[in-house]
Amino acid sequence: MTTQTKYTVVAIVVALLLIYRLFYSVREAEYALITQFGRPVRTVTSAGLHVKWPWQAILWFDRRLRIYNPRPSEFLTRDKKNLVIENYVAWRIDDPRRFVESVGDTTAAEMRLHDIIWSGLSAALGAQDLDSLVAPSPDQVQTASMLDQLTNNADRAALLQYGIRILDVRIKRLNLPEQNKQSVFARMRAERERIALQYRAEGEQQALAIRANADREKEEILSAAYKNAEKIRGEGDAEATRIYGQAYSKNPQFYKLLRTLDSYKKILDDKTTIILNSDSELLKVLTRGEAGAK
């Protein structure tokens, strides 16, 4: 190897080293903090190729959103009810310089977050009745506005102290402490008993109403039919009477004769004994001969 070649090799190595120390690329998911002899000088938040002095070093930070789940803890509401609450915090590093100066790494950050959120949550819940967290209708529940306020306060504090942005604090689970559950189960059972009784009684009530209604309707239908039927019969009788009257009034005497004779046919049967006067119209001829017929 000639001297010239040696120089060339050295020059290339130096050049490559220089390139390596001068240029760096920041990925989308990262922040770069440029430090000079351990002292942070600037933060690079835009992804892409960047230049620094060769003597400056880089600290990398994950800028992505993280979900932190603190352990479930017990809180006391204003009306002295215990609640076990499991929440989560959505956070990310916003100011790497403040973050590295005050916290250092994510584990330490989550411990700080736990403290901020825990104290915020216990203060917020201490100002709420259980009814405003758990209620049968949506407009009674204040949880969302309470958490929004909590998020804002926690965000302001965390940003100022730790360079952390808190996007969201939310309750994942509302539960009762183990020692309260038995009484809740007993209450649930009693409530169900009551509802079961109510369902059965309501069913019976409805059934009775339907039956009574049917009976009434039946009576109405039949009585209306009777009314109509009697009216029709009456009309028939009236018409018949009119026809008879019209016909018979033309010759009432003859009608009387015929009708009386007809009624004799019905009145007089084989059990009847009749005593006839020999002077009667029928027998006059029998007793007096032809003179009787006059």
Partner 1 sequence: MSTVVVQRPEPEGVELSVVRGPLRKASHNRLYACVVGLWLLSGIFLVPADEQAVVTRFGAVANPRVSPGIHYALPWPIDAVYKLKTHQLRRTVIGGDIPDTVLGRMPAAPSEFLSGDQNLLNVRVVVQYSVSQPTDFLFQTEDVDRAVEASVESELAHRIAFTPVDKILTTEKVATQNDVLGAAQRTLEEYRSGVILSSVNIESVTPPPEAAEAFRNVAGARADAIRLVNEAEGYANDLIPRARGEAVRLEEQAQAYQAGRINRAAGDAARFEAIASEYAKAPKVTSTRAYVEAMEQILPKIKKLIVDSHGEIDLTVVGRDPNTTANPTGAPQK
Q: Which of the residues 190 through 249 are near partner 1 (CB under 8 A)?
A: 191-193, 195-197, 199-200, 202-204, 206-211, 213-215, 217-218, 221-222, 224-226, 228-233, 235-237, 239-241, 243-244, 246-248
Quick one: tokens of 256?
A: 């009387």
Between 112 and 170, CB nearer to partner 1: 170
Quick one: tokens of 281?
A: 């119209």
Quick one: tokens of 294?
A: 């006059």
Q: Is 108 in the site for partner 1 (CB under 8 A)?
A: no
Interface size with partner 1, residues (CB under 8 A):
130
**Angstrom distance (rounded) from CA 130 to CA 150:** 17
User: To which H or E segment does residue 87 belong?
Assistant: strand 82-93
**Angstrom distance (rounded) from CA 294 to CA 115:** 146
Q: Is 18 in the site for partner 1 (CB under 8 A)?
A: no
Between 156 and 187, CB nearer to partner 1: 187
Taken in order 130, 131, 135, 141, the sign of the CA dihedral is: negative
Q: Which of residues 57-96 bind partner 1 (CB under 8 A)?
A: 62, 64-67, 69, 87-88, 90
Quick one: tokens of 255?
A: 């009608």
> Of the candidates 39, 80, 250, 294, which one interacts with partner 1 according to CB under 8 A?
250
- The alpha carbon torsion through 113, 117, 119, 124 (nearest 10 deg) reads 170
DSSP, res 291: G
Between 270 and 290, CB nearer to partner 1: 270
Shortest Cβ distance from residue 100 to partner 1 (Å)? 18
How close are the terminal C-alpha atoms of the chain, in Å? 190
> Of the candidates 40, 73, 114, 134, which one interacts with partner 1 according to CB under 8 A?
134
Q: Is 129 in the site for partner 1 (CB under 8 A)?
A: no
DSSP, res 271: T
- In one-letter notation, the amino acid at residue 180 is N
> Of the candidates 38, 265, 291, 294, which one interacts with partner 1 according to CB under 8 A?
265
Shortest Cβ distance from residue 31 to partner 1 (Å)? 11
> Of the candidates 35, 56, 102, 143, which one interacts with partner 1 according to CB under 8 A?
143
> Of the candidates 59, 170, 290, 294, which one interacts with partner 1 according to CB under 8 A?
170
Between 126 and 203, CB nearer to partner 1: 203
Quick one: tokens of 210?
A: 């339907």
CA-to-CA separations, 42 to 30, 58, 64, 108, in angstroms, rounded: 14, 10, 19, 23
Between 38 and 136, CB nearer to partner 1: 136
